[in-house]
Chain A
Amino acid sequence: MFLINCPFCGEREQSEFKAGGEAHIVRPKQPTELSDDEWAEYLFMRKNIKGVQFERWNHVHGCRKWFNMVRDTSNDQIKAVYKMGEKPPVK
């Protein structure tokens, strides 16, 4: 359990949010042209990193807006929070 600094609402409890999984997975422009392997890669395969990971979160019990987060999954420390469409502030 931790606090999340929503870019729209400020600091709130994590239980107000829904995790949306790995961020920056780009939806294929032409899904019909993908091979089965490429489709599986897009749909199912995940880095599932132990360490610094880029994620999507949704403030479901607040502003209901999506945003991105950089978080260390080994200790749940949040490195940065940024809006959708923005470049990640840390590498």
Chain B
Amino acid sequence: MKNKYSIFSLIKNAFSYHENWEKAWKDPEPKKEYDAVIVGGGGHGLATAYYLAKKHNMKNIAVVEKGWIGGGNTGRNTTIIRSNYLWDASAGLYDHALKIWEGLSQELNYNVMFSQRGVMNLAHNLQDVRDLKRRTHANRLNGIDAVYLNTEEVKKFCPIINTSQDIRYPVLGGTLQRRAGTARHDAVAWGYARGADEMGVDIIQNCEVKGIKRNGDTVEGIETTKGFIKTKKIGVVAAGHSSVIANMAGLKLPLESKPLQALVSEPVKPIIDTVVMSNAVHAYVSQSDKGELVIGAGTDDYVSYSQKGSHDIVEGTLNAILELYPIFSRMRMLRQWGGIVDICPDASPIISKTSIKGLYFNCGWGTGGFKATPGSGDLFAHTIANDEPHKLNAAFNINRFVSGDLVDEHGAAAVAH
């Protein structure tokens, strides 16, 4: 049993200069065999392992990660959490996640710094206005909080926005989801890792998957840089590298992996207390607790695994940011980075069984996977444990690309993918 984090443990450890905190998770070598192996130690993978152990009593499992946990897209995203998606299937999926977020810090005994500061999506033309109003109505029919704001209300909610009607893409209105917000991305991975470790899950870092062993249409195990691991169930949560793992098993996925960039400014005093996103001009901004502006840019349109993006993408985003927030014109940017996102043709994820028995994929989250982390883990764990999808992820099966029953969130989601 791990020591509970509390104000008392903080005080107690202060007396020993914080040098005697117990390790949050062990660093074991892989066993010969597990009941299930999760490939990918990001937020989604660790959450999957946590819920497999907690809700489905599968404790003899491992998470293998080629680098360090939370070092991929979990540590590279802009931490926005919302559930205001248009289609019923997406609304169900993302609001399931949002409901878990609301109690996650207490459940994990780990402060994930979930902050429901609201997410506002802006409209810049008449079609935006129509689409956002339609989405607001759809959200409310699905029990998701959403309100439509006119230009004055947008200005009142976030006073630094330039609402002049003379700019190139004037603000005509927006939507607001007050339950939406941000969380601390690393803490999510670390909290799930600590919780899973406590229940006996082996978290194996620096262990890259090199091959998937099959006997006909059934999996037998994985070849890794730390040797062969025998298992009957493999859950792949490898984000941008999902296709690489799929190719090892002789499968093809409907994915393209592309660089997505983000950047942060130098830290400043609190200036923006919400998250503002704009689909039409592709700019979104929030402020971290350290004071940095966190800015999300778009994806490049070519396949790349280089974790670098093109400069013109950043330039386009910053142009839009400056027009919407002239107050930021003298800000300097501190860091810029890229992550590799796996995008489905319909911009919706895949949480699914495959044609190979015992091989499961959780991928295709594209540019918006962080918000879904707890829900994705919960539903993927259900799918792996029962060999059947939960009703909330049934629509996100891989066969939708054969049947044509797509969940087309490309134009429908609140922000471009």
Using CB atoms and an 8 Å cutoff, list the residues of chain A in contact with chain B: 1, 14-15, 18-19, 21, 36-37, 39-41, 43-50, 53, 55, 57, 71, 73-76
Contact = CB atoms under 8 A, between A and B. Distances in A.
A45 B252 contact: yes
A41 B252 contact: yes
A45 B254 contact: yes
B304 A46 contact: no
25 contacts: A1-B309, A1-B312, A14-B310, A15-B310, A19-B301, A19-B303, A21-B303, A36-B403, A39-B402, A43-B401, A46-B253, A46-B256, A47-B252, A48-B243, A48-B253, A48-B256, A48-B303, A49-B247, A50-B257, A53-B303, A71-B302, A73-B304, A73-B306, A74-B305, A76-B306
Which 10 A-B pairs have CB atoms at the shortest separation, nearest pair first? A19-B302, A48-B243, A44-B254, A1-B310, A45-B252, A15-B312, A40-B402, A44-B401, A50-B305, A19-B301
Given A50-B305, A76-B308, 9 more contacts: A39-B402, A41-B252, A44-B401, A45-B253, A45-B401, A46-B255, A48-B256, A50-B244, A75-B306
Interface in B369-415: 401-404
B292 to A, nearest CB: 24
A19 B308 CA distance: 16
A47 B242 CA distance: 11
Contacts of B247: 47, 49
A21 B244 CA distance: 17
B4 interface: no
A73 B243 contact: no
* Chain B interface category by residue count: 20 to 34
A3 B58 CA distance: 51
B349 to A, nearest CB: 15
A74 B247 CA distance: 16
Contacts of B257: 48, 50, 73
A20 to B, nearest CB: 9
B33 to A, nearest CB: 29
Contacts of B308: 1, 76
A59 to B, nearest CB: 14
Contact of A73 (B253, B305, B345): B305
A46 B306 CA distance: 19
Contacts of B213: none
Contacts of A46: 243, 252-256
Contacts of B244: 50
Given A44-B254, A46-B254, A46-B256, A73 B303 contact: yes
Contacts of B402: 36-37, 39-40
Nearest to B255: A48
B232 interface: no
A46 B243 CA distance: 9
A85 to B, nearest CB: 22
Contacts of A39: 402
Nearest to A75: B306
A87 to B, nearest CB: 22
B297 to A, nearest CB: 13
A74 B306 contact: yes
Contacts of A48: 243, 253, 255-257, 303, 342
Given A15-B310, A36-B403, A47 B243 contact: yes
B311 interface: yes
B263 to A, nearest CB: 15
B117 interface: no
Contacts of A37: 402
Nearest to A44: B254
Contacts of B311: 1
B340 to A, nearest CB: 9
Given A18-B301, A76-B308, A50 B241 contact: yes
A14 B342 CA distance: 21
